[in-house]
Amino acid sequence: MSELTASLAGSADIQAFLDGIVRTVAEHLSSDVCSIYLYEEQTQELVLRATRGLNPTAVGQVRLKSGEGLIGLAMKELRPICEYEASSNPHYKRFEGINEEPYESFLVVPIQKGIEKIGVLVLQREQRSYFTSGDVAALRAVAAQLTGAIENARIFLDLPGLQQAQKAPPAQLVARVTGRVASGGLAEGFAAVQDPARSQRVLGSRHFPQRYTAEDFRRAVERTARELEHLQQQLQQRLPEMASMIFSAHIMMLRDPAFMDEIGAAIEDGTNPPQAVLEVGLKYVRLLAGSPHGYIREKAQDVQDVVKRLVANIVGQDDRDLPSSAAAHIVIARELFPSDILKLACTGVEGIVLVSGGVTSHVSILARSLHVPMIITEDPRLLELPDGTHLLLDAEAGELLVRPSQAMVERFHARRAAVPPTAPTVKTLPKTHTADGTRVRLLANVNLLSDLEHAQRLNAEGVGLYRSEFPFLTGATLPSEQEQYLTYRRLFQRMPDKQITFRTLDLGGDKLLAYYDEIGEENPAMGLRSIRFSFRHAETFRQQLRAILRAAAGQKLRIMFPMISSVEDFEQASHTVTECAEALREEGEPCCQDPALGMMIEVPAAVGIIDALARRAAFLSVGTNDLIQFLLAVDRTNEKVASYFTPYHPSVLRAVARIAAAGVRHDKEVCICGEMAHDPRCAEFLVGIGVRTLSLDPQHIPAVQRHIGTLSLAHARQRVAALLDADTLAEVRQLLAPAETP
Ligand code: PEP
Ligand code: MG
């Protein structure tokens, strides 16, 4: 495999790279023939691009539609096909003159990236026999390893066709697209498609009729550096705990002698400076974008951004090809990392549309904290929209309007004027009660320190869930104990005298750290995540606990641990807190010595032993997002099964009721901190089963407070009996329905 990867760096050009792959794979898998077919977007055909064993003149000539022949079938159905005697399969398609006849044993595996079809790899042998399951596995591994590099090869081989295609007038691609709301709000702007492959194609095909000088380039570098430093400073002010190094890769590129010298040398050799920036820059982008590691691909986006900025700053006012970053834009992307959301928020993005794949729950959570409307759709056609297309994003209804009519725009403006989503005038009461006087505490979920302002303004009674992992997710390295201490200290300073509940690191799963990316688990949601990650990285866990305890000196502190699945988990985590507190005392460091220790209930196993846990914990907090995911076996990040993710499932209601009852039995607070806490249809049920604390995103506090104010405890208890009796989703929905229209 390393031989294959190395062959990219050593190849003279793309064709030589593909030829190298087929040669190496044929040798290693003892096959007479190895061929690569790549999917060509303009014609929607698979085209033979490299072969070892077939007639070389067939390269570029043999073409198959999706579903045509065994090769087209493998691509269409995205599955490997293995044949003993290929010609006897009814799907087999013969091509004259390519010298395929002698090779009857046949194996084809698709090369795909997410929802994108890239091509297929084919092996053929003369001897009639099936390829072994080992061969199939090996060829699939090769396909997976080479996906990124082959994808790039395809893009560059396709360039001439694409240039043609780009000259055609933009098609009326889509008009109205629906999606799931990840972060509410309304936004209007111009499409900015963030697809590295497409940007590469667009940038790679640019021409600069005007001649620029080395001095223009030097000035552009300085100007770009100033722009980036300004963005970094803005971020520092707005999100101090997250700011560290967000734009570091950008700034580093500008200061990297290898990168800059290579551009300088090309300019000295007579290349027009913007062209030199593109040639050298895109070479780096290709290398990074081909990586199987998310955190390296993330850097490709950064380098591409630097390249765009440099070119724009060289050509200045002449640059009509790049959409102005100052214009209101709605980003459409296939993959976004938490740091991307921060960068986008800094550059004033109006809204985000994520096209399937690559969505982590943290990306949605961040978008909400930053008040950036966002929807997630399954419609890949959006990635083909020309940049600058006028869009209306309704992330309340989960709808995107493409090239809206004047009437649509007017209706949209009227709606936006009527409901400013984060109106500072919304009033809340300091305390929340049901209509018959039962007290319910409303706490805030805090993801970024900037959420605190909202929380305070809306009278949150404390912080019920501080998701401490965000500063870890966007930096290049782990924040030190001192850095964490400073962040946590700000949290206490901004919410003085209020109870603050820290959740210890909830990393792993879909919340991967760039610097631990090598974990690469098969089932990350059920893998080395959350408290298990903290146990495995004991020093990181201790550093975090020390920082929390120090920051909480003299304050009301609660600490809870995520993903607890046994009494032992809770005891081990609690023991580590005690050890850290003792160590700090011995060091004479001021700290909180007696935090209340609780746990998240978000794994079905914890519900099974809920009495044992409730007896030991100071409080319980129900993470319904994960609890629903695990109870119902529905990946919370998978768009395809989103309709199965329902808090109204009878099992979910019964599990939550069981947890609440254990809380009542053991006189321990049960807080709900997942999304269920702000679902108006669930409020009466939660109050009825005895839940008296809810922790929610601050913007939901006014609506939830109002709704609770309409409830009566006696009525809620009656409803609970009926709801817990319901066996079907339909019955539950019907029982909950009246609350939908308060
Ligand atoms: C939950 O799982 O419900 C929860 C609150 O935690 P997170 O969404 O951060 O996993
Ligand atoms: Mg959770």
Q: What share of the chain has pLDDT > 90, as a percent? A: 48
**What is the model's pLDDT at position 323?**
44
Q: Specify the range with the lowest mean pLDDT, choosing from 538-547, 589-598, 687-696, 728-737.
A: 728-737
Mean pLDDT of 54-74: 89
The average pLDDT across 593-604 equals 97
> 16-20, 222-226, 290-294, 599-603: which has the minimum mean pLDDT?
290-294
Q: What is the pLDDT of residue 577?
A: 98
Choosing from 506, 532, 607 the residue with most ligand 1 atoms within 8 A of its CB, the one to mutate for a pocket test is: 506
Q: What are phi and psi of 292, to 5 degrees?
A: -75, -10
How many angstroms separate the CA atoms of 35 and 282, rounded? 27
Which pLDDT score is estimated for 155? 61
- Highest averaged pLDDT of the listed ranges 79-88, 200-209, 512-521: 79-88
Task: Give 741's contacts (C-beta < 8 A, 6+ positions apart).
Answer: none
Measured in whole angstroms, how far is the alpha carbon of residue 232 from the centre of its chain?
22
Atom of ligand 1 lying closest to residue 625 CA: 3
Residue nearest to atom 6 of ligand 1 (CA): 623
Give the integer Cα–Cα distance in Å for 287 and 303. Answer: 11
Query: Which among 562, 600, 524, 645 is positioned nearest to 182, based on CA atoms?
Result: 645
- How far is the C-alpha of 59 from the C-alpha of 278, rounded, in Å? 30
pLDDT tens-digit map of 130-174: 898 888 888 888 887 777 777 666 665 654 544 444 444 344 456
Cβ count within 10 A of residue 641: 14
CB 19 within 8 A of CB 150: no
Among all residues, which ones are annotated catalytic?
362, 673
Residue 624 pLDDT > 60, yes or no? yes
Burial (CB < 10 A; 0-12, 13-18, 19+), residue 559, is buried
Ligand 1 atom at minimum distance from 469 CA: 9
Q: Which two tokens stand for residue 408?
A: 């649509």
Write down the pLDDT at residue 165: 44
Which residue's alpha carbon is nearest to atom 1 within ligand 1?
623
465 alpha carbon, closest ligand: 1
Expressed in angstroms and rounded, the spacing between residue 436 Cα and the centre of ligand 1 is 31
Q: What's residue 238's pLDDT?
A: 78
pLDDT at 169: 39
Check residues 575 and 641 and name the one with the higher pLDDT.
575
Does residue 282 have a pLDDT over 80?
Answer: yes
CA of 626 to the centre of ligand 2 (A): 5
Does 360 score more than 90 pLDDT? no
pLDDT at 515: 56
| Residues in the ligand 1 pocket, defined by CB under 6 Å | 361, 465, 467, 506, 602, 623-626, 673-674
Residue with tokens 């009656």: 718
Confidence of residue 209 (pLDDT cuts 50, 70, 90): confident
Q: Is 579 helix (H, G, I), strand (E, B) or coil?
A: helix
Top mutation candidate among 466, 467, 561 for ligand 1, by most atoms within 8 Å of CB: 467
Q: What is the mean pLDDT of residues 448-461?
A: 92
Separation of alpha carbons 36 and 668, rounded Å: 63
Report pLDDT for 358. 44
Report the separation in Å between the CA atom of 109 and the middle of ligand 1, taken as the mean of its atom positions. Answer: 38
Contact predicate 514/339, CB 8 Å: no
Confidence of residue 293 (pLDDT cuts 50, 70, 90): low
**Over residues 567-588, mean pLDDT:** 97
**Best probe residue, ligand 1, of 505, 560, 599, 626 (max atoms within 8 Å of C-beta):** 626
Looking at the CA of 675, name the nearest ligand.
Answer: 1
pLDDT per position as a tens digit, 227-250: 888 888 887 777 777 765 667 778
Smallest CA separation from ligand 1 atom 9, residue: 467
Grade residue 284 by pLDDT with cuts at 50, 70 and 90.
confident
Structure token digits, residue 619: 């409080």
pLDDT confidence of residue 51: 94
Q: Is the pLDDT at 454 greater than 80, yes or no?
A: yes
What's the rounded mean pLDDT across residues 524-534?
A: 90
Token reading at 630 = 């695990």
Q: State yes or no: pLDDT of 117 exceeds 80.
A: no
581 versus 161: the higher-pLDDT residue is: 581
What number is the average pLDDT over the span 210-238?
A: 88
Q: Pick the atom of ligand 1 nearest to 626's CA.
A: 2
φ and ψ at 315, to 5 degrees? -85, -10
Instruction: Tell which residue, 609, 588, 601, has the closest CA to residue 628.
Output: 601
- Ligand 1 atom nearest 623 alpha carbon: 3
Q: Give the closest residue (by CA) to ligand 1 atom 3.
A: 623
Residue 623 CA to ligand 1 center (angstroms) comes to: 5
Structure confidence at residue 658 as a pLDDT band (50, 70, 90): very high
Say how many Å lie between the CA of residue 624 and the centre of ligand 1: 7
Please tell me the predicted confidence (pLDDT) of residue 475: 65
The CA 467 to ligand 1 mean position distance, Å, reads 9
Average pLDDT over residues 538-549: 96
At residue 243, the pLDDT reads 61
Task: Give 457 Cα–ligand 2 centroid separation in angstroms.
Answer: 26
Atom index in ligand 1 nearest the CA of residue 562 equals 6
CB atoms within 10 A of CB 273: 25
User: What percent of the chain has pLDDT above 70?
Assistant: 86
Q: Is 188 helix (H, G, I), strand (E, B) or coil?
A: strand
> If you average pLDDT over every residue of the chain, what do you get?
86
* Closest residue to atom 4 of ligand 1, CA basis: 623
Q: What is the pLDDT of residue 569?
A: 98
Task: Write down the pLDDT at residue 116.
Answer: 64
pLDDT of 511 reads 65
Tell me which of 320-324, 461-465, 721-725 is least confident. 320-324
Question: Which residues sit opposite 467 in a β-bridge?
Answer: 503
Residue 375 pLDDT: 92
Give yes or no for a contact between 374 and 333, defined as CB atoms under 8 angstroms apart: no
Q: How many CB atoms lie within 10 A of CB 284?
A: 20
Position in ligand 1 atom list of the atom nearest CA 621: 5
The predicted pLDDT at position 250 comes to: 81
- Top mean pLDDT of 74-88, 232-246, 297-311, 326-340 is at 74-88
Q: Which two tokens stand for residue 296?
A: 């390296």
pLDDT score, position 167: 43
Mutate to test the pocket of ligand 1, among 600, 607, 652 (most ligand atoms within 8 A of CB): 600
How many angstroms is it from 425 CA to the middle of ligand 1? 29
| Res. 556: pLDDT tops 70 | yes
Residue 46 confidence (pLDDT) above 70: yes
Residues 687-712 have a mean pLDDT of: 96
Most confident of 226-235, 307-316, 726-735: 726-735
Say if residues 124 and 100 touch (Cβ distance below 8 Å). Answer: yes
Mean pLDDT of the region 176-191 = 90
Which residue is closest in CA terms to ligand 1's atom 8? 625
